[in-house]
Structure 1
């Protein structure tokens, strides 16, 4: 059982570098993290410490759009996990002076900060 718990703890946050495969460069590195957040009937703001992302996925958290490096989303009862946000981010990765992928331009799970503001009710308006 301890082994299983250790695996879950390690699997709850991970980051990976961009890849080059058979001459094809995949210019995105990524991070997957589970954040302990009470997001139901709340608006959560996620900040990425100034890093640029190419794509973000937060299942069950609904957004009206995003700012430059801040994403706001709203949890809905019966849809959103009441205790966690499962966040997957693909970061925009740059090249170094030699044309290689530069992993220092990738954020990691520690670069994702968040706060949730309880709204006391489900969000109103159109969300996606």
Structure 2
């Protein structure tokens, strides 16, 4: 995963490569190539649900209910205070077949475009 932001008018981005993985144990590595801290949260998508359509709450974040895991620890696995620029983090999950939305859930980042789809297929 690549986390990217700009200081200009272009939107923030989060890319997932590869975007399709087989079911089972999956390690996701997030590299922050932007200029501010980010995180990665993995959320399941319901059938027919499109990415980018989660309601943004009053704190400018989306609900993390049902989260399967998070990478937000500088040079470490799991939760932390955020991935600083030029650093990486990772999380290892067991994923079932389905669709997942990978998001940065720092205030305003989801609405700013930091979301991508991860498909787990047989």
Give the alignment's TM-score, normalised by structure 2: 0.33
Q: Which of the two has higher C-alpha Rg?
A: 1
